[in-house]
């Protein structure tokens, strides 16, 4: 059964704003993929970064998406935000401050950068698990940035969109374009890995492409909690994700899922980011079926989501809308 929650700071709208230009879309929808980290090396925390850690990571977007739609509202009516999905986690809590939602924060940041008023209706159809190490909130922010760039006719280069995204969080600059990329700094400094490049070909040859299974959980993990435990216990021997040991210590079923997937023939299986989700790259349909069966048989995950890697955002402009909130 779907859950939904709504926040509105202004009046509903059922048509484009009176001052809306006819040559620009009245609504833009963006399907933005989740991310995982193929490698995640964690360094020291830096006081000048608010305690964030130095990171060196290879990002990969996977085709598990949230859809964010942005619709023009009449001038002065403020913004509104609707959330819908079967697995909203703590986003559906009555105590959740929707003004702190990543998509709403991205709206405010883009409005400030563009000198616009945030008279926009946002709707989010969530499919990416919440608090799962898959950057669902970052994907929503990136989708909002991409939607507003199109909706407002800005046509900013990706580098400028990433600058706005970097003011909001570590993963968001990557999520604006998806694909593969290297992230440094605290994850916000992005070096794209271009299609057909030597690095991209090496990633594909090493099995980091194609069919993916995501093992998801009802349980959420707090990223700060995972980092605090990492600071205490360090990385596991041979772990390409330095946070994996801490995430498994806090959520042992993730470790069971990693082991079950590898035993079933997955080319790679690991905790995604700070967890608890597990990502398994399955090189053949037979291996895909074996991993699926192993997870179902062991009960190591709560639900299983099929995806492909890598993936990129998809933007869908609509010249008119019948109903907008």
Both tokens of 167, joined, read 């003011």
Point out the catalytic residue in the list 31, 35, 73, 245: 35
Please state, in angstroms and rounded to a whole number, the distance separating the CA atoms of residues 313 and 101.
20
Point out the catalytic residue in the list 31, 66, 140, 171: 171
Ligand-binding annotation for 80, yes or no, is no
Residue 279's φ and ψ, nearest 5 degrees, are -115, 130
Ligand-binding annotation for 61, yes or no, is no
- Mark whether 245 is an active-site residue: no
Q: With H, G, I as helix, E, B as strand and everything else as coil, classify residue 179.
A: coil
Ligand-binding annotation for 136, yes or no, is yes
Please state, in angstroms and rounded to a whole number, the distance separating the CA atoms of residues 178 and 181.
8
Ligand-binding annotation for 234, yes or no, is no
Ligand-binding annotation for 95, yes or no, is no
Ligand-binding annotation for 131, yes or no, is yes
By the 8 A CB rule, do 112 and 20 touch?
Answer: no
Q: What is the distance between the terminal CA atoms of the chain, rounded to a whole angstrom? A: 22
Ligand-binding annotation for 135, yes or no, is yes
Please identify every residue annotated as catalytic: 35, 171
* Binding-site annotation, residues: 129-139
* Binding-site annotation, residues for ATP: 129-139
């Amino acid at each position: 059964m779907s859950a939904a929650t709504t926040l509105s700071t202004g009046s509903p709208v059922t048509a484009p704003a009176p001052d809306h230009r006819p040559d620009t879309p009245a609504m833009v929808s963006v399907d933005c993929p989740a991310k995982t980290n193929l490698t995640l090396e964690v360094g020291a925390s830096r006081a000048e970064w608010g305690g964030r850690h130095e990171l060196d990571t290879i990002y990969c977007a996977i085709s598990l998406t949230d859809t964010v739609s942005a619709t023009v509202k009449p001038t002065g009516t403020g913004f509104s935000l609707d959330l819908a999905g079967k697995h909203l986690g703590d986003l559906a809590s009555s105590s959740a401050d929707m003004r702190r939602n990543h998509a709403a924060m991205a709206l405010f940041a883009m409005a400030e950068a563009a000198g616009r008023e945030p008279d926009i209706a946002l709707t989010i159809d969530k499919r990416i698990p919440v608090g799962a190490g898959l950057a669902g909130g970052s994907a929503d922010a990136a989708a909002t940035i991409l939607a507003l760039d199109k909706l407002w006719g800005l046509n900013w280069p990706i580098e400028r969109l990433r600058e706005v995204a970097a003011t909001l969080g570590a993963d968001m600059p990557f999520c604006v374009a998806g694909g593969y990329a290297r992230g440094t700094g605290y994850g916000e400094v992005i070096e794209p890995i271009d299609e057909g490049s030597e690095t991209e070909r090496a990633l594909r040859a090493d099995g980091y492409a194609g069919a993916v299974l995501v093992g998801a959980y009802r349980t959420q993990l707090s990223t700060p909690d995972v980092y605090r435990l990492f600071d205490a216990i360090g990385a596991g021997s041979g772990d390409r994700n330095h946070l994996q040991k801490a995430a498994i210590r806090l959520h042992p079923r993730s470790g069971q899922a990693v082991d079950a997937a590898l035993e079933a023939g997955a080319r790679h299986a690991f905790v995604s980011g700070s967890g608890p989700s597990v990502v398994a790259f399955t090189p053949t349909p037979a291996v895909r079926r074996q991993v699926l069966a192993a997870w179902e048989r062991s009960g190591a995950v709560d639900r299983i989501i099929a995806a492909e890697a890598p993936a990129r955002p998809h933007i869908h402009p609509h010249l008119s809308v019948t109903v907008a909130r």
